[in-house]
């Protein structure tokens, strides 16, 4: 067997293993995740999912992000990113901590939409009219809200 054949075989084996891992992992994620969302059965439809403590003040970037959030995101994710039961999840939640969802995850979600994987609210559509810079400012706002609520 020459090196090219071995390399092609290795790529197929690794690719197949990855495909199986994705398939099995997707089922595990749909059923539950190590960062399980809260029970929302006692919350009124459209009600906030979490209580959000506001920071004393926002940085300039986060203040701009708040304005963008209110214009493009709050309709679904609620006031101060507290979520809305039956509509969209709170972004002030441990699931969205920086070590689990980076700022780039916010950018990609806004640009491409995202398949439902933590919550049962359905898929998020892509958001039209936002630049990467806009979403990074929104992420700065969300991160400051998270820190004010003990999520680092």
pLDDT in tens, 60-116: 999 999 999 999 999 999 999 999 999 999 999 999 999 999 999 999 999 999 999
Please count the other Cβ atoms lying within 10 Å of the Cβ belonging to residue 146. 21
- 136's CB contacts (< 8 A; 6+ apart) are 65, 103, 106, 107
Homologous superfamily of 1-151: Cytochrome c-like domain (1.10.760.10)
Residue positions counted in the chain: 152
Residue of 46, 146, 28, 30 lying closest to 98 (CA atoms): 146
- Asked if residue 17 has pLDDT above 60, the reply is no
Which H or E run includes 138? helix 132-148
Question: What integer pLDDT is reported at residue 22 of this predicted model?
Answer: 44
- Asked if residue 9 has pLDDT above 60, the reply is no
- 152's CB contacts (< 8 A; 6+ apart) are 97, 98, 146
Where does the pLDDT of residue 43 fall: very low under 50, low under 70, confident under 90, or very high at 90 and above? Answer: very high
pTM of the model: 0.76
């Amino acid at each position: 067997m020459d090196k090219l054949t071995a390399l092609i075989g290795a790529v197929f084996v690794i690719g197949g293993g990855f495909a199986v891992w994705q398939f099995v992992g997707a089922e595990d994620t749909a059923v539950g995740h190590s960062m399980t969302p809260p029970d929302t059965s006692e919350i009124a439809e459209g009600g906030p999912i979490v209580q959000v403590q506001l920071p004393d003040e926002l940085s300039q970037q986060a203040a701009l992000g708040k304005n963008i959030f209110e214009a493009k995101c709050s309709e679904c994710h609620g006031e101060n990113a507290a979520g809305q039961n039956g509509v969209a999840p709170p972004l002030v939640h441990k699931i969205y901590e920086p070590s689990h969802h980076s700022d780039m995850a916010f950018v990609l979600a806004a640009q491409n939409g995202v398949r439902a994987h933590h919550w049962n609210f359905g898929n998020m559509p892509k958001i039209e009219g936002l630049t990467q810079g806009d979403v990074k400012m929104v992420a700065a706002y969300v991160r400051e809200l998270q820190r004010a609520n003990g999520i680092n």
